[in-house]
Structure 1
Amino acid sequence: MTYALEVAGINKSFGTTKVLRGISFAVESGSTTAIVGPSGCGKTTLLRLIAGFEKPDQGSIALNGRAVAGTGWVPAHRRTVGYVAQDGALFPHANVAANVGFGLPRRARTKSRIAELLEMVSLDESYASRRPDQLSGGQQQRVALARALAREPELMLLDEPFSALDAGLRVTTRRIVAEVLSKASVTTILVTHDQSEALSFADHVAVMSAGSLAQLGSPREIYDVPVDVPTAEFIGDAVVLPAVVSGSTATCALGSIAVSPNSSGISGPARIMLRPEQIEVTTDVTAVSGTVVDVEYLGSEALVGIHVDGDLAERVTVRRFGTSELTAGDRVGIRVLGAAIAYVP
């Protein structure tokens, strides 16, 4: 297997503050990896180390088998790496053609080459004469991407490039960028704190927590089988309940429910995790039942808070798609779909 990027044992501190602790992972050539985590977890620092803007205290970084940090040091401008910042970082005094051409040798800054790069990011060549302040946020980000692609990088780094855009524009721009990079077969790393963005954009997702790599896997693995409760709660909404596990069954406020084989080896007191869409509201209140305490309307879906009856009474949140006519005070039944993931308490 060919790796475009190999990161091994990276540590980084600023003064007495440890920012990264033993980060190790590899990225396959042509793939897309999203690095996701809460603010302050170290993800942007990791990206800057890969780009060559910072030096690691320990560990090594290699691009396509060539060491760029650790055993030797290759400065940022000598790495075949493209970088798109959160705000695009376009030169405000220069037009689009000059911004895109900045990444090209002077002799290659031709009108046809600029037009070709703009076409790659779904912009007409007529945009070449415009200034950045005459563009929308999404157009500015696409110009920044075209400038980065001009260098024909082996690795593209995207540092929260969609976070400043409104919701509709963010989705559209993200799709265009993903298509451009896929068509160009450019290995890509996206840093984001947006969980849904990470899951939809990338082939692989790396979850960071407090400077360490908590889990690396496919989007489905990260969402369906998170390695621990903090990861589960960060990657999407999660219903976490105390339970007692015996064999393949957990007893909790929602009754006796199946436990995933991924939880093998856990027995006795535990915490179990379900996704809200695994909990179904029914009209049958003879089994597990509860009372609706609040409904949060989100347009295409609603989050329904339910106080479950019984000695193990708990509040759970259920996701209902489409129109929900439930209101506070309604009595409902509850049914669990699929299996829960169990963790040691």
Structure 2
Amino acid sequence: MTYALEVEGLDKSFGAAPILRHVGFAAEAGSTTAILGPSGCGKTTLLRLIAGFERPDSGTIALAGRMVAGGGWTPPHRRSVGYVAQDGALFPHATVGANVGFGLPRRARTRSKIAELLDMVSLDPSYASRRPDQLSGGQQQRVALARALAREPELMLLDEPFSALDAGLRADTRRIVADILAKAGITTILVTHDQPEALSFADRVGVMSAGRLAQIGTPREIYSTPVDVSTAQFIGDAVVLAAHVDGQRARCALGDVPVSLSGVQGNARIMLRPEQIEVTPDGAGVSGTVVDVEYLGSEMMLGIRLDTENGVVSDRVTVRRFGATALTPGDRVGIRVLGEGVAYEL
């Protein structure tokens, strides 16, 4: 298997504060990997180490089998790596054409080459004469991408490049950038704190927590079978309940729920996603009372307080329901579970 990037045992501290602790992963050539985590977890530091802007305290980084950190040192300009920062980092005093051409050797900064690079990022060549402040946020990010592509990198690093854009523009720009990089066959590493962005953009997702890589896998694996409760709750809305697991069944406030095979037995916690919990129209199943309704446009989130078998008020669960609902706080409902839960040790 050909890896464009191999990171192994990476540690980094600033002063007495550890930022990264024994981080390791590999990215196949042409793949897209998202590193997902909250602010301060170390994901941008990881990107800067790969780019060569910082040196690791220990561990190694290899690009296409060539050691660039840990077994020697290769400076950033010799790593064949493109880097797009959160704000694009365009030169405000320069035209778009000059910004794009900055990544090219002087003799290659021709009008036709600039036009070719702008076309790659779906911008008309006429934009070359504009200045960055005459562009929208999404256009500025595409200019920054064109500048990074000018060096014909083997690896592209994206440092939260869509976070400053509004929701609609962010989705459009993300889709355009993903298509451009996929067509060019460039291995890409995206760091983000946006869960839907990571899951929709990447072939593989790594979840970082407190400087460690907690889990890496396909978007489906990360969402459906997170490695622990904290990862589950960070990746998306999660319903976590106390349970007793016997074999592949868990007894909890939602009744008898099937769980995926994990080796967890006895007293435990189980995790379900809100879309796995369905309100039954006839009131059948476990009963409860609607306590709040959150309107989100195409979907609604229902907070439901479950009843125990003896009628005592019990756990509160969140149910995702698509489309409108006539339910209001105080309504009595029945609910049932779809699919399997994931069990975790206490």
The TM-score bracket by the shorter chain reads over 0.9
Equivalents in 2 of 1:50, 1:324: separation in Å? 49
How do 1:233-312 residues align onto structure 2 when only pairs under 5 Å count? 233-261=233-261, 263=262, 265-310=263-308
Partner of 1:186: 186
Structure 2, unmatched stretches of 5+, are: none
Look up the equivalent residue of 1:293 and give its one-letter code.
Answer: V
Cα shift at 1:16:
0.6
How do 1:26-41 residues align onto structure 2 when only pairs under 5 Å count? 26-41=26-41
Matched, 1:217 2:210: no
Cα shift at 1:278:
0.1
Look up the equivalent residue of 1:101 and give its one-letter code.
Answer: G
Deviations 1:211-269, CA, capped at 9 Å, x for gaps: 001001000000011000011001111000000001111011101111112x2x21110
Percent identity of paired positions between Structure 1 and Structure 2: 76
Equivalents in 2 of 1:210, 1:271: separation in Å? 23
For the Cα contact (< 8 Å) 1:252–1:312, is it kept in 2?
Answer: no
SS at match of 1:164: coil
Equivalents in 2 of 1:89, 1:119: separation in Å? 20
Matched, 1:333 2:334: yes
Equivalents in 2 of 1:344, 1:59: separation in Å? 32
Deviations 1:15-35, CA, capped at 9 Å, x for gaps: 110100000110000000000
Look up the equivalent residue of 1:328 and give its one-letter code.
Answer: P
Equivalents in 1 of 2:169, 2:131: separation in Å? 20
Structure 1, unmatched stretches of 5+, are: none
Partner of 1:324: 325
Look up the equivalent residue of 1:105 and give its one-letter code.
Answer: P
Deviations 1:160-179, CA, capped at 9 Å, x for gaps: 00000000000000000000
Equivalents in 2 of 1:92, 1:165: separation in Å? 18
Partner of 1:67: 67
Q: What TM-score comes out, normalization by structure 2 length?
A: 0.98
Partner of 1:313: 314
Q: Residues 286 and 143 of structure 1: is their aligned pair in 2 closer, same or farther, counting only changes over 3 Å?
A: closer
Equivalents in 2 of 1:76, 1:287: separation in Å? 60
Q: Tell me which moved more, 326-335 or 282-291.
A: 282-291
Cα shift at 1:326:
1.1
For the Cα contact (< 8 Å) 2:305–2:313, is it kept in 1?
Answer: no
How do 1:76-95 residues align onto structure 2 when only pairs under 5 Å count? 76-95=76-95
Cα shift at 1:77:
1.3
**Runs of 4+ with >6 A deviation:** none
Equivalents in 2 of 1:11, 1:83: separation in Å? 21
For the Cα contact (< 8 Å) 1:207–1:213, is it kept in 2?
Answer: yes
For the Cα contact (< 8 Å) 1:10–1:56, is it kept in 2?
Answer: yes
Equivalents in 1 of 2:307, 2:110: separation in Å? 71
Cα shift at 1:287:
3.0
Look up the equivalent residue of 2:214 and give its one-letter code.
Answer: A
Equivalents in 1 of 2:285, 2:132: separation in Å? 61
